A = this chain, B = another copy of it.
Amino acid sequence: MKSERSSCGIARTLEILGDKWSLLIVRDLMRFGTRTFGELAELSEGISTHTLTERLKRLGEFGLIRRKPYQSHPVRYEYSLTKRGKALRPVILSMLEWAGGNLPRRRKKRSA
């Protein structure tokens, strides 16, 4: 059972994307195409620069995003989705669809 589970596509997906921020970054890059670190930091509501740095590194390691220098002194990068990252569109869309049909539009706080 263990070995079946560890090869499960959901488990493997969540190893990479199972956190509060990674899919928000993917979402922003999907929406805007290319974003600088500063733009992502501003867009991803409340993400700390430390967390953003870590998530971008991780998404890069897994081949979901690429970075390209757009300035050399000092060097600055802009980020975009790879083909593998762009392939997450159905995941993003299915979450949007689910939220639209199943979550209240504004939730003040978690109900007990």
Q: Of A19, A23, A90, A99, which is in contact with the most chain B CB atoms at under 10 Å from its CB? A: A99
The answer for the CA separation of A87 and B97 in the assembled complex, in Å, is 10
Interface of A is mostly: helix
User: Does A72 belong to the interface (CB within 8 Å)?
Assistant: no
Q: Which residue of B lies closest to A84 (CB)?
A: B102
**Chain A interface size, under 10 / 10 to 19 / 20 to 34 / 35 or more:** 35 or more
Give the copy number. Answer: 2
Closest residue of B by beta carbon distance from A92:
B10
- Chain A residues proximal to chain B, CB less than 8 Å: 1-2, 5-16, 18-21, 23-24, 27, 42-45, 61-62, 84, 87-88, 90-103, 105-107, 110-112
8 A-B contact pairs sorted by A residue (CB < 8 Å): A9-B96, A11-B45, A13-B96, A19-B20, A61-B112, A87-B102, A93-B94, A94-B94
